[in-house]
Amino acid sequence: MSERPRTYLTTPIYYASGEPHLGHAYTTILTDVLARFHRQNGREVLFLTGTDEHGQKIQDEAEKRGLTPIELCDTMAERFESAWDGLGISHDRFIRTTEAEHRAVVTAFVQRLWDLDQIYEGVYSGWYCVSDERYWTEKDIGEERTCQICRKPVTHVEEKNYFFKMSAYQDALVAHIEANPDWIVPEVRRNEILGFLRQPLGDLSISRPKSRVAWGIPLPFDSEHVAYVWVDALINYLTASRAIDPTADVGHQGFEDVSDSWWPADLHVIGKDILTTHAVYWPTLLMGVGLPVPKRILSHGWWVVGETKMSKSLGNVVDPLSLREEFGTDAVRWYLMREMPTGGDASYTPERFLTRYEELSNVLGNLASRVTSMIVKYRDGVVPDAPGAGLDEEIRKTLEVVRSSMASFKVHDAFAAAMDLARTANGYVEERQPWTQARDADSPGALDETLTSLTRALVVLCALFQPVTPEKMEQLATWLGISGVPTLEEAVAVDVRGRRVEKGLPLFPRVEPSWAGNSDG
Ligand code: ME8
């Protein structure tokens, strides 16, 4: 293992029953931005995403489409991978729960629970939502008998299940949350889980009879039952960490010592819809097999359309790839990161998308093209030999805000601060009036100072925007004559004097959106 500090980041694994939409793209881009930020700052990163491929929802969807479940999953896994490719996602591993390695780790995990006497056989009698693959109590479903999450009708089931003794870990979980105030971010979600844990915690059904759900991983101690899809899915994080070697002898599979692996994950990034599974089921299951729990959980809000959550089942999804075709990858990434305060909800509207695009274009893009073209015009493309300290104080303050905002996952604040620096630099142009300075042949130093200060700011901006708009910052770095995008430290320290600069084209050209003039938006 390398000596560099390491960070293991995960997204949820998305159901292979529907197309990737803007909500999935948000989580994945958010995690990508964090991954790029960590890499940029010298950390070794394992960034995991993937698809959740077992369970009744997938089984039913495949049947509806006249496909076998694996045919459906193969198609959809490819769709997600190519969507992430198109959106500049830099994941290190794409996991599919139908992979042999994952199936073996799930088998070993469940066997370990069984061996440690953490599982008993019982009968489940209650309500089930296929869409969210969740059991609900009489109280949860209310008089309308609908799922708490998707509001679709639930069905009554009564069947033999295996149960994990989750209730035994209630006190340990509460103690963990209380001792680690930042374990669940934001605080509103932490309080939600603490509230939930004020009621007695039940045991967790971890199996489904094959007679009802054949599409799953069979239990090693009863092949007539498969692992409950949520148990199967959560274990993906462990599989990818390489902590468990299911081929080793029992006692040597890694459950006793994970120090040689990526486990525990540093951060699970999830939406607020799947908080209970991640903040209650998952840590207690890990406690059940004696493994450390993930270090932190970031539970963000929902993209809504009007008042309603964007979701496939509600039929109101926005396709991030079509936005990308019109505006480019980086514009979609910028909009999603800048528009949603991490943790809160945000409403998608084409107007806001355009406003955010114009910000990129008029503030950052404009600064980049005017600075590079002035250097070409007034100094033959060579950055003058001047101190260039005109924006140093602003740069210093911005870096402070960016670092602290990123550390608390306030990505929107970090990039707002970065954009403010670009705004300030544009203001500096107006204030110094380089076109007037250029006419003053008696004191060329003033123009030199303006141009060098602006170039230094642009180099820092290039590093600051790299995690969110990587493609464009790569271009900007080339125009600025720096090889590759610098780290924040390098960007501040870089000596720009004497470097050759190219006149850049507009980074974010004007776009006439396809919806312009269309009253339906
Ligand atoms: O729940 N706004 O998969 P899923 C913001 N397979 N984020 C959204 C969103 C929206 N409108 N809609 C979806 C599952 N998301 C399980 C996860 S993990 C072990 C198993 C994002 O395909 C958000 O991250 O329903 C949410 O938690 C996730 O997609 C749910 O994806």
Domain annotation covers residue 333: no
DSSP assigned state of 362: I
Residues 42 and 149 in one domain: yes
Residues 230 and 366 in one domain: no
> Number of structural domains, the chain?
2
Residues 405 and 460 in one domain: yes
Pocket test for ligand 1, best of 134, 235, 274 (most atoms within 8 A of CB): 274
Compute the average pLDDT of residues 8-15.
98
**Residue 286 clears pLDDT 50, i.e. is over it:** yes
Residues 287 and 406 in one domain: no
pLDDT-derived band at 462 (thresholds 50, 70, 90) equals very high
Residues 73 and 183 in one domain: yes
Residues 135 and 55 in one domain: yes
Residues 292 and 414 in one domain: no
Residues 300 and 354 in one domain: no
Residues 306 and 163 in one domain: yes
332 C-alpha to center of ligand 1: Å?
18
Domain annotation covers residue 202: yes
Residues 305 and 374 in one domain: no
Residue in 342, 336, 417 with CA at minimum distance from that of residue 187 = 342
User: pTM, whole model, 2 decimals?
Assistant: 0.95
Q: What residue owns the CA closest to ligand 1's atom 29? A: 24
pLDDT-derived band at 520 (thresholds 50, 70, 90) equals very low
CA quadruple 221, 226, 227, 232: dihedral positive or negative? positive
Q: Which of 127-141, 204-218, 233-247 is least confident?
A: 127-141
Domain annotation covers residue 309: yes
pLDDT-derived band at 484 (thresholds 50, 70, 90) equals confident
pLDDT-derived band at 135 (thresholds 50, 70, 90) equals confident
Residues 359 and 267 in one domain: no
Compute the average pLDDT of residues 186-205.
97
Ligand 1 binding pocket (C-beta < 6 A) is 12-15, 23-24, 26-27, 52, 233-234, 236, 270-271, 273-274, 302-303, 309-311
The owner of tokens 């070794």 is: 44
352 C-alpha to center of ligand 1: Å?
23
Compute the average pLDDT of residues 84-100.
98
Domain annotation covers residue 328: no
270 C-alpha to center of ligand 1: Å?
7
Segment holding 301, helix H or strand E: none
pLDDT-derived band at 231 (thresholds 50, 70, 90) equals very high
Q: Which atom of ligand 1 is nearest to the CA of 14?
A: 22
pLDDT-derived band at 519 (thresholds 50, 70, 90) equals very low
Structure confidence at residue 258 (pLDDT): 96
Structure confidence at residue 306 (pLDDT): 77
Q: Which of 189-193, 327-331, 423-427, 438-442 is least confident?
A: 438-442
E strands along 293-414, which residues?
Answer: 297-300, 303-305, 308-309, 346-347
Q: What proportion of the chain, given as a percentage, has pLDDT over 90?
A: 84
What CA–CA distance (Å, rounded) separates 25 from 34? 14
Pocket test for ligand 1, best of 21, 22, 27 (most atoms within 8 A of CB): 27
What CA–CA distance (Å, rounded) separates 55 from 216? 6
Q: Find the CATH number of the domain harbouring 296.
A: 3.40.50.620
Q: Find the CATH number of the domain harbouring 462.
A: 1.10.730.10
Domain that holds residue 292: 6-320
Segment holding 123, helix H or strand E: strand 119-129
Compute the average pLDDT of residues 238-255.
96
Compute the average pLDDT of residues 412-430.
98
Tell me the pLDDT tens digit for each residue of 112-121: 999 999 999 9
